[in-house]
Structure 1
Amino acid sequence: MSEQWTTADIPDQRGRVAVVTGANTGLGYETAKALAGRGASVVLAVRDVEKGERAAARMPGDVTVQALDLCSLDSVRTAAAALRSRLDRLDLLINNAGVMYTPKQATADGFETQFGTNHLGHFALTGLLLDLMLPVPGSRVVTVSSTGHRIRAAIHFDDPHWERSYSRIAAYGQSKLANLMFTYELQRRLAAHGTTVAVAAHPGVSDTELIRNTPAVLRLPVTWLAPLITQTPAMGALPTLRAATDPAVLGGQYYGPGGRFEVKGHPRLVASSPQSHDAAVQRRLWAVSEDLTGVRFPFGEARQGLSPSGSATAG
């Protein structure tokens, strides 16, 4: 694999269809723009349609907009139905949208906002769109996680919505750990189909709107250190783009910046935390996610004992 992978390495995407959540700004915008620039038909799935239309107007090629609010399962279902009515196939689903370090809030369905948006909304969207992907060779579900999956992170099955107490940092860690566990469990379940694969990525530390909710105690140090520890959204999008398009990618892999501490740099294969690979917790999280969202995926149980990273190749 190239050690200096860039958008110039993205293969021709003509004939491929991609849906990118949160694509009106930041990482999602750069991801969608790069895919469209290589010929993909791209749908920007965004909460603010007006901003999405403005973003689409700045991108090359075939780019359209779909309203999607991941804080509402009704909106997720409406968006999925609209996409299913207009698309006959889906090659790439990029689960990019997210919130970070929000004050204690709840989604329209009563979920803690970070867990509800970052994990449950994308879990539901993926399940509702997956049958558009299963017949498509080389199709991929790419979910964006974070190095935050290592920071005070655990799946709090006894209180997933932080009703007893709240830590915005730990809640974010839970949501990003859930993104990885979802990817690994999804890959195990996809392995029997031999077409679609699930891959994860993280952007390192990128200068995007996500940092606006950084706790006050961290905001000043982050501001001072920003020139040293952050990279542009275009660079931050590269791990996602590599996970989505590199022919050498395998299902169940995880991509991030190749620099020291995975803060910035060109994308490469990286490792997630040991606890993210706990298969029993992955299965339990899947069952809880099904119960909370009411979404069932169009295939059966995962095959026992199958490694999530050694099962399928996407090209």
Structure 2
Amino acid sequence: MTDQQGRTFVVTGATSGLGLVTARELAACGARVLLAVRDAARGDEVASSLRSAYPGADVEVRQVDLLNLRSIRRAAEEIGEEEAVDVLINNAGISMVEHSVTEQGAERHLAANHLGHFALTALLEPALRRSPAPRVVTVTSYMHEKGELDLEDVAWRRRYTSMAAYSASKLANAVFGAELARREQSSSAPITSVLAHPGYSNTPMQKKGSGVIGIAMRVSGKLFAQSPEMGALPQLFAATEPDLAGGSYVGPDGRGGRSGHPTLVQLSAAARDPELGRRLWERSQQLTGIRWHTATV
């Protein structure tokens, strides 16, 4: 990466895994990094360690629970006090959780992985537009290719499996990033919306789950997954490569897109579907009560 001094990055989920590596590498390159994290105490520990490792590093913590709209609004107000936000990296995510439904009526994977980031991005729009070259990076997964979105059953009242719900939430991430890119094409000063996926990376997510599936994920993660440092490269590339076009999708260049160095790859047909993008956007506004461009609640 080139020198990132003078630029402000917001990284969600920055206390572990891909988010921690992303925040660390940005701080090492001179960026101002806001750690948007659920656990503020853990965030303070990470910020302190980064300042120790990189004297003079400009790292601060902003507490946000992506499952709580009140928390998202508070965080957006605090972050919105910045002179500008140059890049928002929507990295945080959950996986392999038991079925539960938020007070907005959405299944938990969809709520945390997509709706929380949808709301945060909309509320940070004014701060992003104060940047001369604003960018939003939405982190999805190759599992989005297996996802199916049923916007009439966002609570997953049908037969539930955590893997299917996770894949659906990752499809929602991909659809959102692509739809934001389409909508920004007509803007006179567009926010560049790009997407990234880490391939198969050994992160704390691989330690989730119970039973046979959980054991398989942990063993597979140790034996076959690439390191978090490699997994973070696509989103770092997506966040800092100067000439990426809106709608670009970055993933590993290895076999099957599971490992390797960053390269441009293609979203699934479902993720690129403009009608699904429109419907997801409208449903997300209904569920969060937040509208893009006005960002009112």
State the TM-score, normalizing by the size of structure 1: 0.88
1:120 aligned to which of 115, 119, 129: 115
> What is the percentage of aligned positions where both structures have the same residue?
44
1:260-311 Cα shifts (integer Å, max 9, x gaps) = 11111111111121111111011000000001101111179xxxxxxxxxxx
Determine the structure 2 residue equivalent to 1:308: none
Aligned length: 289
Instruction: Between 170-179 and 226-235, report the one with greater CA deviation.
Output: 226-235
1:139 aligned to which of 134, 137, 144: 134
Q: Secondary structure at the match of 1:235?
A: helix
Pairwise CA distance, 1:80? 0.6
Determine the structure 2 residue equivalent to 1:148: 143
Could you tell me how far apart the structure 2 residues matched to 1:83 and 1:224 are?
A: 39
Contact 2:202 2:222 in 1 (8 A): no
Pairwise CA distance, 1:227? 4.5
Q: Secondary structure at the match of 2:193?
A: strand
Determine the structure 2 residue equivalent to 1:157: 151
1:32 aligns with 2:23: yes
Pairwise CA distance, 1:210? 1.0
Contact 2:84 2:129 in 1 (8 A): no
Could you tell me how far apart the structure 2 residues matched to 1:288 and 1:76 are?
A: 18
Determine the structure 2 residue equivalent to 1:295: 290
1:15 aligns with 2:6: yes
Pairwise CA distance, 1:146? 0.4
Could you tell me how far apart the structure 1 residues matched to 2:216 and 2:64 are?
A: 34
Give the counterpart letter for 1:75 in structure 2.
S
- Aligned-residue CA RMSD in angstroms? 1.6
Determine the structure 2 residue equivalent to 1:78: 74
State the TM-score, normalizing by the size of structure 2: 0.93
1:51 aligns with 2:39: no
1:71-122 Cα shifts (integer Å, max 9, x gaps) = 111111111111113x120101000000012111233544211000000000
Determine the structure 1 residue equivalent to 2:220: 225
1:234 aligns with 2:236: no
Pairwise CA distance, 1:131? 1.4
Determine the structure 1 residue equivalent to 2:63: 67
Could you tell me how far apart the structure 2 residues matched to 1:72 and 1:299 are?
A: 20
Contact 1:144 1:179 in 2 (8 A): yes
Give the counterpart letter for 2:164 in structure 1.
A
Determine the structure 1 residue equivalent to 2:172: 178
Could you tell me how far apart the structure 2 residues matched to 1:79 and 1:171 are?
A: 27
Q: Secondary structure at the match of 2:237?
A: helix
Contact 1:137 1:195 in 2 (8 A): no
Pairwise CA distance, 1:224? 3.9
Q: Secondary structure at the match of 1:66?
A: strand
Q: Secondary structure at the match of 2:133?
A: coil
Instruction: Between 186-195 and 92-101, report the one with greater CA deviation.
Output: 186-195
1:190 aligns with 2:181: no
Give the unaligned 5+ runs of structure 1.
1-9, 301-315
Give the unaligned 5+ runs of structure 2.
none
Contact 2:104 2:288 in 1 (8 A): no
1:206 aligns with 2:197: no
Could you tell me how far apart the structure 2 residues matched to 1:228 and 1:258 are?
A: 19
1:101 aligns with 2:96: yes
Determine the structure 1 residue equivalent to 2:106: 111
Contact 1:135 1:195 in 2 (8 A): no
Could you tell me how far apart the structure 1 residues matched to 2:208 and 2:67 are?
A: 17
